[in-house]
Every structure is written in structure tokens, then in C-alpha cells.
Structure 1
């Protein structure tokens, strides 16, 4: 199975160690979503923007670990989207983004440039 990561799970980011056993397939941009800064990590919600991300192939064990990390407490929900590498799971943020900073560039790695 494949997964799209757009924030702290990306290469050289704070939670990238969760992707140690994943196979990087390539970079990608997903349209129809907006990226918000939640503090230590971001959240993606449906919207009019473009989000920069990475696509990985993961095994069932890694997917289970990521589900436990991301869906605990209902913060995120998985949504299947199409990529050049085939369909992939994207974690959509489930809480309100009212009052949160939108990352206008759509790129978590450039979040400080948007301030």
C-alpha cells in the first residue's frame, strides 16, 4: 500500500523515523487541499490549494503504526487519493482549522517563510 506524507513524516523531519521501513516513490503535489500549521506538525483539509508531499510504499505493519499515531482521538482520517504512483492514503485533519495559520505555499518545509 502507498501513503502520502506532507509534514513531520517527510524526509529529514521530526517524525521521519516512522518511515524507516518505507520505500520512497517520489515527490508529488496534491490539488484541492490546504495545509495548516498545528504547531509541531501540520494538518491537511479539503480546499482550494496545492500541498507538496512525498509518496511512499509501506507494509501493513508500518501502516498500522501510522494509523495508531495519526487517527488516535479522531484527529485525522485516512482518505484515498490518486497519485502518479497509484492510489495512496492521505491523512485528512478532522478538527476545525479556524484560527490556525494556513501555510500558503502548501509546503511544510517552507512554513517559516509564510509568516
Structure 2
């Protein structure tokens, strides 16, 4: 199928789709250098936060160690519908719960990793500060800049509460 200028629209659409798929696969391969070691520390900002769907699904209360809540600078939070994504933006920050996985808990961390990396995210290592203690962990960053509005306060749980209040009114 051609547009008025003789350009093949079908192939342009296919190339774009292929480009996104290719991009995600490359990001997945780049990110999926297994997180090895005695422990894995993750900064979780969305549905993996305490009380939310994926936190309950993976039973993170029992199968990881909660280290605290922190703000991670340099990332903006976006709503992608039922879950959020973050993307690097200077001057923004996101609220994240920091969890440590060790021993048998590493299997849960690997399951989360698999879910996130195949879901269009990649790992970025970040410096975290919890109660004046500095630790290094990683956060899952969306592969492409979302085309939705930034959630200014950077807190997914706060955003969900605001959304629920709006729906009630």
C-alpha cells in the first residue's frame, strides 16, 4: 500500500514495529547479564511495592528483606496504565522501596528480573541512600521514553490513591 508520495506505508509500519521489537530484544540481551552474587538489591517503585499486586504475587514481605524507602534522583515516573515506568530525566525523582534478596530468595529476584526484562524494561545500577547508609542496587527503567504525562511527585502509591479519589467523585 502506498501513500500519495509513492512511499510504501505497510513496510514503514513493519519497520517501526520491527524496530521496537529489535530495540527491546537488544535491551533485554544487554540487561540480561545475570545479576550474580550473594545478594541482589532492587529499588522497586511500582506494582512490586508493598501491598500492591506484584508484591503480593511474589510474596515479597516474606521472600525479601525490606531495607527502607528512598527517593532515586534522575528519573521521572510515568503511568503506563495499570503499572508505571520510569525514564531518565534530570531534576526528577521517584519513590522506591529497597529490597535485598539473598540465599533462597535469589530465585524470587530472578523471577522478577525475568518479568521486568521481558516487559520492556532494563536494569540500571543506582546509588541508594537509606537512613544515611549508602548502598548500590538497581532499578528497572522503561526502554523507551513514555508518551504519557510525568507523575510529578514520583510516588506510584500516592498516584493510585489520587486516582481512586478522582474516580469516587
TM over 0.5: yes
Q: Which residue of 1 is the match for residue 128 of structure 2? A: 83
In the alignment, what sits opposite 2:70?
Answer: 28
Looking at secondary structure, tell me which structure has more strand per residue: 1
User: Highest CA radius of gyration, 1 or 2?
Assistant: 2
Aligned residue for 2:48?
9
Q: Normalized against structure 2, the TM-score is what?
A: 0.62
Q: Secondary structure at the match of 1:11?
A: coil
State how many pairs are aligned. Answer: 113
- Cα shift at 1:16: 0.8
Q: CA deviation at 1:25?
A: 0.3
Aligned-partner SS, 1:10: coil
Taking the aligned partners of 1:50 and 1:79, their CA distance within structure 2 comes to 15
1:54 paired with 2:97, answer yes
Q: Which runs of 5+ in 2 are unaligned?
A: 1-39
Shift of 1:50: 1.1
Aligned match of 1:94: 143
SS in 2 for 1:40: coil
What is the deviation of 1:61?
1.1
Higher relative contact order (CA 8 A, sep 6+): 1
Candidates 73, 82, 86, aligned match of 1:40: 82
Contact 2:69 2:95 survives alignment (8 Å): yes
Across the aligned residues of Structure 1 and Structure 2, the Cα RMSD in angstroms comes to: 1.7
